[in-house]
């Protein structure tokens, strides 16, 4: 059985040497003793356990007004979304891997793909990705395949979500792809196999989109696409579907999306569901393309992404179906109006907004970020994301009210 072990003794020694450890025992001896002996108290009955947990939960402060964004947004979720998504027909331990067994699940994914295509202005979308960060990274690898390895440098905006940037760095490091970061896109991009920007960018600014002379990847905020024009100049559009009826969930789980021009369809990672007819002429849904090594020759696989996030994609599909075009657009209008009203009121108090053109997020400049946010927190307000000692990223959504904005202004 030795040939089936992942690590040989030599590999283990090399790994330990890299982290300056002499043996596995030395590695695990660093674990504090108190972590090895958990004191959980005496056994409790179910009723006693419920009472204790509720008492502990009451110590949490939950009644905060939220003005934080940065990639995870406090959005209204119709109750029907979770009710339907958690039905036994959809929610199983095997949910991400079972699209081929059910016409219903396949149809949901097909409808999801259609909605993402319409929102982004792209020809086609896949069945979903893991999250926004991995979607960005997979798009870079996809663009590298499109270039057939003739170029090895990618241009990435330094206004990309910093968490996404870290994922892109990891993927590119593993593929020996060189990243060049930019503030303003250079005029000549012919030496690069792709350009990746965010729209609106991490700081809330809506950039002007113009097609560079290479593969153009846009990481888009789907909420913003409710009222701003879709990035039709792009070749590949990616991002996170969290704003579409997915809870903040302490940062996850969420899911990513990927859409592209039809010419690049066979370079997409993951799965793609198509619609056809069976031998009797009835509508049928089927997995049209599967680019994972499980399904095709390993050397032809585009990615090792093992599945789609079908349950979360279902939630997004339910959300968009329930909201409808008008409802979805209205949430965008409310979010933008709240943000611009708050920005204007902050400006009136001498707090400068650094953005020129924004949707629902903007950066403010303050004398001391920590003091500013602490003061708001004392008033039960999560005032935004600290960028540095003087700058804060502030966000509003349809969940914020005029009263909350007034409270924000009064508290600063």
pLDDT in tens, 134-175: 999 999 999 999 998 789 999 999 999 999 999 999 999 999
For residues 139 and 180, membership in a common domain is answered with yes
Cα dihedral 225, 228, 232, 234 sign: negative
What is the tens place of the pLDDT at every residue in 324-343? 999 999 999 999 999 999 99
Domain identity same for 361 and 224: no
Say whether both 91 and 161 belong to one domain. Answer: yes
Q: Is 180 left (phi over 0), alpha (psi -120 to 50) or beta?
A: beta
Residue pLDDT, tens place only, 4-18: 667 888 999 999 999
| 280 in the same domain as 382 | no
pLDDT band of residue 1 (cuts 50, 70, 90) is very low
Local confidence band at 103 (pLDDT 50, 70, 90 cut-offs)? confident
pLDDT band at 298 (very low <50, low <70, confident <90, very high): low
Examine the pLDDT at 278 and tell me if it is beyond 80. yes
Q: How far apart are CA 131 and CA 256, in angstroms?
A: 4
| Same-domain check for residues 233 and 370 | no
* Residue-range definition of the domain harbouring residue 139: 79-318
Which CATH number is 328's domain given?
A: 3.90.1150.10
Least confident stretch, 86-90, 105-109, 295-299: 295-299
Among 145, 122, 114, 131, residue whose Cα is nearest residue 234: 122
- 236 CB-side CA count, 13 A: 31
The answer to whether the pTM exceeds 0.95 is no
Which residue, 266, 290, 318, sits at the end of a domain? 318
Query: Is 260 in the same domain as 367?
Result: no
We report the CATH number of the domain holding residue 272 as 3.40.640.10
Residue after which a domain boundary falls, among 318, 341, 375? 318
Overall average pLDDT of the 267-285 stretch: 90
Strand order in the sheet with 194-199: 124-125, 256-260, 236-240, 215-220, 194-199, 153-157, 178-182
- Other beta carbons within 10 angstroms of residue 22's beta carbon come to 10
State the pLDDT confidence band at 88, using cuts at 50, 70 and 90: confident
Is residue 313 domain-shared with residue 382, that is, in the same domain? no
Task: Look at residue 223 and tell me whether its pLDDT is greater than 90.
Answer: yes
346 and 310 inside one domain: no
Average pLDDT rounded to a whole number, residues 357-381: 97
Inter-CA distances, 38 with 41, 46, 90, 320, Å: 9, 20, 37, 46
Q: What is the pLDDT of residues 34-60, one digit of tens each?
A: 655 667 788 999 999 999 999 999 998
Q: Are residues 243 and 343 in the same domain?
A: no
**Domain end among 318, 334, 359:** 318
Residue 163 placed within a domain: yes
Structure tokens at 116: 């993402």
3 or 394, which is more confident? 394
Average pLDDT for residues 103-108, to the nearest whole number? 86
Please enumerate in sequence order all residues whose Cβ is within 8 A of that of 338, keeping only pairs 6 or more positions apart, or say none: 360, 396, 397, 398, 400, 402, 405
Q: Which of 243, 251, 210 is nearest to 225 (CA)?
A: 243
What is the C-alpha separation between 245 and 398, in angstroms, rounded? 13
| Higher-scoring residue by pLDDT: 61, 236 | 236
Q: How far apart are the first and last CA of the chain?
A: 66
Tokens 């025992």 appear where?
Answer: 25
Count of all residues that appear for the chain in the document: 412
Mean pLDDT across the chain, nearest whole number? 91
C-alpha–C-alpha distance, residues 34 and 17, integer Å: 27
Within-domain flag for 88: yes
Report the number of distinct structural domains present in the chain. 2
Residue 43: exposure state from Cβ atoms within 10 A (0-12, 13-18, ≥19): exposed
Q: Is residue 203 domain-shared with residue 259, that is, in the same domain?
A: yes
Query: Positive or negative, the Cα torsion across 158, 159, 164, 166?
Result: positive
Same domain, 331 and 313: no
- Provide the strand spans (E) within 130-268: 153-157, 178-182, 194-199, 215-220, 236-240, 256-260
Arithmetic mean of pLDDT, 375-389 = 97
pLDDT at 300 (0 to 100) = 67
């Amino acid at each position: 059985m030795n040939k089936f072990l992942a690590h040989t003794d030599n590999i283990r020694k090399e790994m330990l040497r890299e982290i300056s450890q002499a043996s596995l025992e030395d590695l695990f001896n660093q674990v504090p003793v108190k972590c090895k002996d958990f004191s959980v108290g005496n056994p409790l009955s179910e009723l006693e356990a419920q009472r204790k947990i509720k008492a502990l939960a009451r110590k949490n402060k939950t009644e905060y007004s939220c003005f934080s964004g940065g990639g995870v947004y406090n959005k209204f979720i119709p109750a029907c979304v979770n009710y339907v998504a958690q039905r036994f027909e959809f929610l199983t331990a095997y949910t991400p891997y079972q699209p081929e067994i059910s016409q219903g699940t396949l149809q949901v994914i097909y409808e999801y793909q259609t909605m993402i295509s319409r929102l982004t202005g792209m020809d086609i979308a896949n069945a979903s990705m893991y999250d926004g960060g991995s979607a960005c990274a997979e798009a870079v690898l996809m663009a590298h395949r499109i270039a057939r390895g003739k170029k090895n440098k990618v241009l990435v905006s330094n206004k990309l979500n910093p968490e996404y940037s870290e994922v892109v760095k990891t993927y590119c490091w593993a593929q020996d792809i060189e990243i060049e970061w930019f503030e303003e896109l250079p005029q000549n991009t012919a030496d690069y196999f792709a350009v990746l920007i965010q729209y609106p960018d991490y700081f809330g600014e809506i950039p002007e989109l113009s097609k560079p002379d290479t593969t153009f990847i846009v990481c888009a905020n789907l909420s913003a696409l409710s009222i701003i024009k879709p990035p039709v100049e792009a070749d590949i559009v990616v991002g996170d579907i969290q704003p579409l009826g997915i809870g903040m969930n302490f940062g996850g789980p969420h899911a990513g999306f990927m859409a592209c021009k039809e010419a690049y369809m066979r370079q997409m990672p993951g799965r793609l569901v198509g619609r056809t007819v069976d031998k009797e002429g009835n509508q049928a849904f089927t997995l049209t393309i599967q680019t994972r090594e499980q399904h095709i020759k390993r050397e032809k696989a585009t990615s090792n992404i093992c599945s789609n996030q079908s349950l979360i994609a279902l939630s997004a599909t339910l959300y968009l179906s329930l909201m409808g075009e008008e409802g979805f657009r209205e949430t965008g209008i409310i979010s933008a109006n709240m943000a611009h009203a708050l920005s204007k009121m902050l400006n009136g108090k001498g707090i400068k907004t650094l953005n020129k053109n924004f949707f629902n997020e903007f950066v403010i400049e303050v004398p001391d970020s920590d003091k500013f946010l602490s003061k708001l927190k004392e008033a039960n307000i999560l005032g935004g994301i600290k960028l540095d000692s003087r700058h804060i990223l502030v966000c509003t959504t349809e969940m914020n009210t005029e009263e909350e904005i007034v409270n924000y202004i009064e508290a600063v």
